[in-house]
Amino acid sequence: MAVFGTIEWVTAFMEAINASKAYEDAAKTWEGDFYFITEVGGAVKEQGYQYVDLWHGKCRKVDVVTEATKDKYKPEFVLQASIATWRKVAEKKVDPIQAIVTRQLKLTGNMGKVMRAVKAAQELVNCVTQVKTEYPE
Amino acid sequence: MQFFGVPFTVFGDESLQYLNTILGKRAFIVTDKNITKLGLADLVITELKKANIECKIFDGVEPDPSIETVVKAAGIAKDFKPDWVIGLGGGSSMDTAKSALVCYVAGIGPLDMSPSEFYNLRSKAKLMCIPTTSGTGSEATWAIVLTDVAGQRKVSLGSYETMPDVAILDPLMVMSMPPQITGDTGIDALCHAIEGYTATWRTKFTDGPGLAAIRLVFQNLKKAYDNGKDEDARKEMMYAAHQAGSCFSNGMPGLGHSTGHALGGIFHTPHGRAVGLFLPYTMEYLINGSEEAVGLFAEIARFCKIGAGDDKKCALALVDAVRKLAKSVGQPLSVKETGIKREDYMKSMPDLLDRSVNEMMTSTVTRVPESEDLEKMFTYAYDGKSVDF
């Protein structure tokens, strides 16, 4: 069990991605890295940045940085949400694309590129569900 | 949290006169050459001039508008600085107008638009749409479909800010539609409403417009197709398309659209014809594996007084009614009937699958197909064989 937003969690996420044949097939042409940002609120006292580098169906690198060290990476995409929204996405209670459209999940980056990789995005969510997660209370 | 968005809608005879009541200084009209040639753009300009609004026309929109066309339109808008952007025409013109507004105000490229960003578009201009076809429903939606010409792919974009402020439904604007376009666009409206009503994003707010639109299409499309001068049928179809737009814009389209977009992106089949062609096959696929879809299709059938008996019988009767209506308005019932050669189609299968799998609409249905089932569906649709899996 890993706490969402920690290096242990994002490392487990990388392992789940790299073990997924379905993700590998769906994202075989995908090139793009992300910041998954968790906003301040509730038990989250400082904005958290999980860095995930996705390349041709695999995850090449993950990291966790803070507000002070966020300039370490310049990812092509940023997805930002509250811990409650991340949890709903991870537990498949909300469709990630619907969350983006309703602005619960804020996306910065080329939307057209994301919309051409819907299947990969869905498989990525399936990978999240493979990670045994504890959410900060 | 869920949303339901609609524009302020002006409808009925002489609705264009609303234009002479609006406040503004400059209107940028986005349309195509056919609309200017038919004199429909002049009708709009005449009314705007009564309100002392200066007008500029961009009539360079092509069917399946490209990203480059949007960039061109946005460039003209930047120089003209309109406080109204007006999409006049079918879905292509209205979608180009929506995208051009975003690029003009936000200073970004069409593909950089994100639904989760707030662009404050109304700080510079409001958006109005005036349809000249009855099908796309784009005047009632925030959705934008552009074409990536190099990638032979349709790109679905949009944001709640791209919902028009005003939609004007004046029957005069659709009276000159030829039968083929009446059929193509009318079937598109039916597809929007059936898919929106049964989508996983549907809400209590999409039910009403969806059902109303489906019934109006069944009652009026054939009449409008057979006799383009039937003003009542034209009017009802215009309202049907608008309500279908409200339904799918807030509820999402489904598999007919994801497969139809894939076909259109590669073979340039007109949008309505392509999505309408796949609609009955995708309905059968849902009926074969989703009890929820069976129930929803049965609700539609009973509301439209189609079929009888249990849910499954009613759902299948609806599929049959869709096919009969499509045939009666000149629609192909199989891909083969569109004239696409089997060898070209089969050669394109990997691209058809890649495009449809990666359309959001593939995942907003109650039975989400994997590639294997999509391939079978594409194959069955080529030969006109009912889906039995």
pLDDT in tens, B329-341: 999 999 999 999 9
Q: What per-residue string of b and e applies to A39-58 under the rule 16 or more CB within 10 Å gives b?
A: beeeebeeebbbbbbbeebb
Output the pLDDT for position B152.
78
Nearest residue, CB atoms, A107 vs list B111, B114, B155: B114
Is the minimum CB–CB distance between B116 and chain A shorter than 8 Å? yes
Q: Is the separation of the CB atoms in A37 and A47 below 8 Å? A: yes
pLDDT of B69 > 90? The answer is: yes
Mean pLDDT of B11-27: 97
- The fold of B179-383 is Dehydroquinate synthase-like, alpha domain (1.20.1090)
Q: How confident is the model at residue B323 (pLDDT cuts 50, 70, 90)?
A: very high
When mean pLDDT is compared across A13-17, A114-118, B130-134, the lowest value belongs to A114-118
In chain A the domains, ranked by start, together with CATH numbers, are 2-109+119-131 (3.30.1050.10)
Is the minimum CB–CB distance between B370 and chain A shorter than 8 Å? no
Count of Cβ atoms closer than 10 Å to residue A111 Cβ = 24
With CB atoms and an 8 Å threshold, state whether A97 touches B363. Answer: yes
With CB atoms and an 8 Å threshold, state whether B116 touches A106. Answer: yes
Q: How confident is the model at residue B369 (pLDDT cuts 50, 70, 90)?
A: very high
B8-174 — its CATH code? 3.40.50.1970
Q: Is the separation of the CB atoms in A76 and A109 below 8 Å? A: yes
Output the pLDDT for position B115.
84
Which residue in A58, A30, A45 sits closest to A117, CA to CA?
A30
pLDDT of A112 > 80? The answer is: no
Q: How far is B281 from chain A (nearest CA, A)?
A: 22
| Residues B283, B287, B288, B292, CA torsion sign | positive
Query: Which of chain A's residues have a Cβ under 8 Å away from the Cβ of B359?
Result: 118
Q: Return the residue of A nearest to B360 by Cα.
A: A118
Q: How far is CA B336 from the centre of its chain?
A: 24
Mean pLDDT of A104-123: 84
DSSP B386: P
In chain B, where the domains are located = 8-174, 179-383
Output the pLDDT for position A117.
86
Q: Which residues, at least 6 apart from A8, have a Cβ–Cβ distance to it below 8 Å?
A: A2
Output the pLDDT for position B359.
87
pLDDT of B111 > 90? The answer is: no
Task: Give the rounded percent of residues in chain B with a pLDDT score beyond 70.
Answer: 100
Note whether B8-174 and B179-383 share their fold: no
